Every structure is written in structure tokens, then in C-alpha cells.
């Protein structure tokens, strides 16, 4: 049963990506699973091509340094022809209403730009994500809760295609992590930690130095109530720190709340735990980035494997759809 997931290089990968996604991919990976850098997804909003290239490379290095087997990774745009073809087939099985209902589309298209100028790719990218999943025949898709609606769309499209034209696609299921499903911004815990946040003081990046991590966590907002209790709704800032520490230590957030008498003590412990959690990845990624030939080799082999693997599904889908 294949698992597949991805991360978009729309910015540097952060602690939320690590705790909510990458770490689990590395720990629970089984032979045949696939994890990739979804660089095509980074094009749905204004972006800088040279920076995208750098971020994609960095992310590939982070995935491998985090412990994902090098033979389980690839970069999405290396399959651009296959994915382009399958996306079109799936777009023609998806209604406008289904795409426009996606929460992320509504959020990102409602950020001030007149809706007429929003990139069409922002509307259709969940269909590209469905193509990512269905091309590889993935049965399980580990994602944070922000992506589960997109996996739901992939399920719908797989079923619809299979029923209308013939059985080709595995119907995927989203699998969620038990804790740290949503790591929040340290400065504004009402929103999730995000790669594209303008002001990065509330975001711990995987490649941040130990010193920077300490400073960011020290500045995390807490709450005016000095009550060390795990109450996510009433004290979201404190709950976020407890959840982060919990994800790093495997102790329940409510138990941690009783162990730390002050915010200061909790913040130091959290910063220390995060630094130790991220250290091997930072070091591993830096040494891979210093060895471009090795990174190129991993990328090329990944592209070859993923293309081969999806080829028969794509040709069946095209044939059943009455084309090619």
C-alpha cells in the first residue's frame, strides 16, 4: 500500500512542516512510499523563478537529511509532462464548483486581489494534486488537516473517473498525525505556521541556527493569564508551545503544563527540544547542499523511478478517456 505526500517550496520549510509532515514520512516510511518537492504548486502565486529553483533544491536536501530514503524522493516538475496530461483528464472530471469550494482557494483568493486577477492555477492546483496522487497509485496520503480537503477531492475524482470510464485509479485516503497536526505561528497563534508569512519572527525554519530558534521561541506570545494549563481555545499561545514540546518529547501537552511552573521555563525547554530535534536535519542538509553531484544523482534517479511507475496508469487513463 503506497503512501505519498509532498511539500511545496513556496518558502523555506518550517517546524510545522517537520512535525506535521516530514518527520512522520521519515519515521513511518515503507519501501515503495514516495515523497516529493511539489515545485509546480509554488507557481500559483507571484514567485521568483531563480529563488524557486534554490528552494526546491534545499527542500530535496531537507527531505533526505530528515531520514527519508533517497530512493523515495523526487521533484514534481521532473514529471511535468505526465502530470500535465493527467491534470487535464482530471480537470475534465471536476466541476468548477468543486474547485471553487476549496477552503485554501477561498482564503488565498480573498487576500485583497480582485478575484478576476487571481491565477487560474490557484483554482486548479488541487486537481494537479489529485494527479500527483492518482498517477502513482497512492492509497494513503499523510497530510496535515489543511490539506485533507484536497485529498477528499482526489478521492472524488478517482471514483468518478473509475465509474465513468473504467477502473484505473486507487481511491486514496488522507492520514493525519495525532499531535502537531497544526503548529501555529509563534507570534500570532490564531494562524498556522506558514512558509509564506511575510514576517518570519513567528516561524521557526528547519535550517535556522540554534541561536535564532532560541530567540524566536523566547519572543513567542503567551497569554495574560499566568496559568500553566493546556487550554487550546482559551490560551492558544501556551497550547501551541505545549504541543510543540509534546511533539518533540512524546509527553502529553497537559502533563507538560504541570511540569513547568513559568512561561520562561517552558520556553527554554521548548527551544532546547526544537534545536535538538532539528539539528541533525540542518547538518545533513548542509552537507548534501555542499555536494551538488550527489543531490543531482538523487534527483535524477527519483525522476526516473516516479515516471516509470506512473506510466501504465497514465496510458490506461488516456485510452479509457478516448484519447491517445
Helix (H) or strand (E) holding 74: strand 73-75
Rounded Cα distance between 155 and 173, Å, is 7
Beta strands in 108-255 (DSSP E): 140-142, 173-175
Q: Which three-class secondary structure state does DSSP give residue 5?
A: strand
Query: Smaller CB distance to ligand TYM: residue 154 or 298?
Result: 154
DSSP string covering 64-102: HHTT--GGGEEEGGGGHHHHHHHHHHHHTTS-HHHHHT-
Is residue 146 involved in binding ligand TYM (CB under 6 A)?
yes
Which C-beta is closer to ligand TYM: that of 110 or that of 292? 110
Tell me the site size for ligand TYM, rule CB under 6 A: 24
Q: What share of the chain is helix, strand, coil (3-state, %, to 5)?
A: 60, 5, 30
Residue from 2, 3, 17, 136 that binds ligand TYM (CB under 6 A)?
Answer: 17
Task: Give the length of the chain.
Answer: 324
Helix, strand, or coil here: 194?
A: coil
Q: Which of 108, 216, 267, 300 is catalytic?
A: 108
Print the binding letters for residues 108-137 with ligand TYM: x by CB under 6 A, - otherwise.
Answer: ---------------------x--xx----
- 192 catalytically annotated: yes
Q: Which is nearer to ligand TYM, 107 or 258 (CB)?
A: 107
- By CB under 6 A, tell whether 41 contacts ligand TYM: yes
**Strand 140-142 versus strand 73-75 pairing type:** unpaired
Smallest gap from residue 5 Cβ to ligand TYM (A): 4
Binding segment toward ligand TYM, per CB under 6 A, in 17-25, 207-215, 250-258, 304-312: 17-25
What minimum distance in Å lies between the beta carbon of 80 and ligand TYM? 13
Helix (H, G, I), strand (E, B) or coil at 207: coil
Residues 172-231 that bind ligand TYM (CB under 6 A): 180, 182-183, 192-193
The residue (of 221 and 294) whose beta carbon lies closer to ligand TYM is 221
Q: CA torsion, points 246, 252, 258, 259, in degrees to nearest 10?
A: -50
Q: Which of 26, 60, 143, 220 binds ligand TYM (CB under 6 A)?
A: 143
Spot the catalytic one: 106, 195, 216, 218. 195
Residue 108 or 287 with smaller CB distance to ligand TYM? 108
The yes or no reply on residue 6 touching ligand TYM (CB under 6 A) is: yes
Report whether 302 contacts 74 (CB < 8 A): yes
73 phi and psi angles, rounded to 5 deg: -115, 155
Geometric angle at alpha carbon 81, from 79 and 84, rounded to 5°: 100
Q: Is 16 in the site for ligand TYM (CB under 6 A)?
A: yes
For position 8 contacting ligand TYM by CB under 6 A, the verdict is yes
195 is catalytic: yes
Q: What is the DSSP string of 292-311?
A: HHHHHHHHHHHHHHHHHHHH
Comparison of 133 and 314: residue with beta carbon closer to ligand TYM: 133
Question: Is residue 141 part of the contact set for ligand TYM (CB under 6 A)?
Answer: yes
Closest CA to 78 of 285, 318, 308: 308
What would the grid cell of residue 261 be?
511552573
User: What's the rounded Cα separation, in Å, for the pair 107 and 116?
Assistant: 15
Closer to ligand TYM by CB, 25 or 260: give it: 25
Residue numbers at the binding site for ligand TYM (CB under 6 A): 4-8, 16-17, 20-21, 38, 41, 129, 132-133, 141, 143-144, 146-147, 180, 182-183, 192-193
Q: What residues are labeled active site?
A: 108, 192, 195
Amino acid at each position: 500500500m503506497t503512501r505519498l505526500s509532498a511539500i511545496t517550496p513556496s518558502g523555506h520549510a518550517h517546524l510545522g512542516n517537520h512535525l506535521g509532515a516530514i518527520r512522520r514520512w521519515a519515521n513511518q516510511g515503507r519501501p515503495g512510499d514516495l515523497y516529493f518537492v511539489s515545485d509546480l504548486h509554488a507557481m500559483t502565486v507571484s514567485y521568483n523563478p531563480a529563488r524557486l529553483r534554490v528552494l526546491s533544491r534545499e527542500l530535496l536536501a531537507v527531505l533526505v537529511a530528515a531520514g527519508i530514503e533517497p530512493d523515495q524522493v523526487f521533484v514534481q516538475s521532473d514529471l511535468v509532462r505526465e502530470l500535465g496530461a493527467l491534470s487535464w483528464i482530471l480537470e475534465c472530471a471536476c466541476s468548477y464548483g468543486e474547485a471553487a469550494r476549496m477552503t485554501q482557494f477561498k482564503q488565498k483568493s480573498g487576500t485583497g486581489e480582485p478575484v478576476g486577477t487571481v491565477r487560474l492555477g490557484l483554482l486548479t492546483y488541487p486537481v494537479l494534486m489529485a494527479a500527483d496522487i492518482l498517477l502513482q497509485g497512492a492509497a494513503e496520503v499523510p497530510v496535515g488537516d489543511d490539506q485533507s480537503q484536497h485529498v477528499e477531492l482526489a478521492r472524488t475524482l478517482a471514483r468518478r473517473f473509475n465509474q465513468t470510464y473504467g477502473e484505473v485509479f486507487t481511491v486514496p485516503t488522507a492520514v493525519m498525525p495525532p499531535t502537531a497536526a497544526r503548529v501555529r505561528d509563534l507570534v500570532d497563534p490564531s494562524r498556522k505556521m506558514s512558509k509564506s508569512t511575510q514576517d518570519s519572527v513567528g516561524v521557526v525554519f528547519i535550517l535556522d541556527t540554534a541561536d535564532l530558534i532560541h530567540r524566536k521561541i523566547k519572543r513567542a506570545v503567551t497569554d495574560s493569564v499566568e496559568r500553566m494549563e493546556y487550554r487550546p481555545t482559551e490560551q492558544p499561545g501556551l497550547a501551541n508551545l505545549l504541543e510543540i514540546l509534546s511533539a518533540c518529547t512524546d509527553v502529553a501537552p497537559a502533563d507538560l503544563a504541570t511540569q513547568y511552573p513559568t512561561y520562561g521555563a517552558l520556553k527554554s525547554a521548548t527551544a532546547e527540544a526544537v534545536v535538538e530535534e532539528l539539528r541533525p536535519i540542518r547538518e545533513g542538509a548542509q552537507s548534501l547542499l555542499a555536494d551538488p553531484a550527489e543531490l543531482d544523482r538523487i534527483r535524477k534517479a527519483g525522476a526516473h523511478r516516479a515516471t516509470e511507475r506512473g506510466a501504465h496508469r497514465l496510458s490506461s487513463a488516456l485510452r479509457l478517456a478516448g484519447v491517445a
